[in-house]
């Protein structure tokens, strides 16, 4: 067993290995396999094969710089998606506690606690006062 592990380690020297994009491709392949167990379509089978081939090609590739750039692009898009959902979640949670007003003078967003009734709101940026119902 140890000999086989050493041979594989020598084989992987100079190759890219696994990263976040490969983990995503592996999980996507598993999800497609589970879905295909119930639907039995050729389209999903082809998608499974494509994901699996991409997974292995990226892992055993010697073009380390190219694979690194692909992973960086994936991480950028992943960040955009997760950040969008994080903002939605934050707005939903804050929306129950606070009401957001926009200053009619400068457009600055102001956060006021809910349940205070009709109040005078002063913009911290420009000093303009206006009425609003919280």
Average pLDDT, the chain: 94
Q: For residue range 53-70, what is the model confidence (pLDDT) as tens digits?
A: 999 999 999 999 999 999
For residue 95, is pLDDT > 90? Answer: no
pLDDT-derived band at 2 (thresholds 50, 70, 90) equals: confident
| 16 band by pLDDT with thresholds 50, 70 and 90 | very high
Crossing angle for the helix pair 20-39 and 64-97, to the nearest 10 degrees: 70
Residue 91 has a pLDDT of 86
Question: What span, in angstroms and rounded, lies between the C-alpha atoms of 52 and 29?
Answer: 7
Query: How many CA atoms lie less than 13 Å away from 34 in the CB half-sphere?
Result: 5
Pair 98, 116: CB distance under 8 Å: no
Beta-carbon neighbour count of residue 88 at 10 Å? Answer: 10
Residue 94's pLDDT band, with cuts at 50, 70 and 90, is: confident
């Amino acid at each position: 067993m140890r000999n086989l592990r050493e041979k594989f380690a020598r084989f992987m020297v100079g190759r890219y290995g696994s990263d976040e994009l490969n983990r995503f491709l592996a999980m996507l392949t598993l999800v497609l396999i589970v879905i295909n167990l119930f639907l039995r379509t050729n389209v999903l089978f082809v998608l499974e094969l494509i994901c699996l081939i991409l997974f292995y090609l990226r892992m055993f590739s010697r073009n380390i710089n190219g694979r690194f750039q692909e992973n960086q692009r994936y991480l950028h898009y992943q960040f955009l998606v997760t950040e969008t959902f994080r903002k939605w979640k934050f707005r939903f949670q804050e929306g129950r506690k606070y009401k957001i007003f926009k200053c009619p003078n400068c457009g600055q967003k102001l956060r006021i606690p809910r349940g205070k009734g009709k109040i005078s709101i002063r913009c911290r940026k420009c000093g303009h006062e206006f009425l609003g119902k919280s």
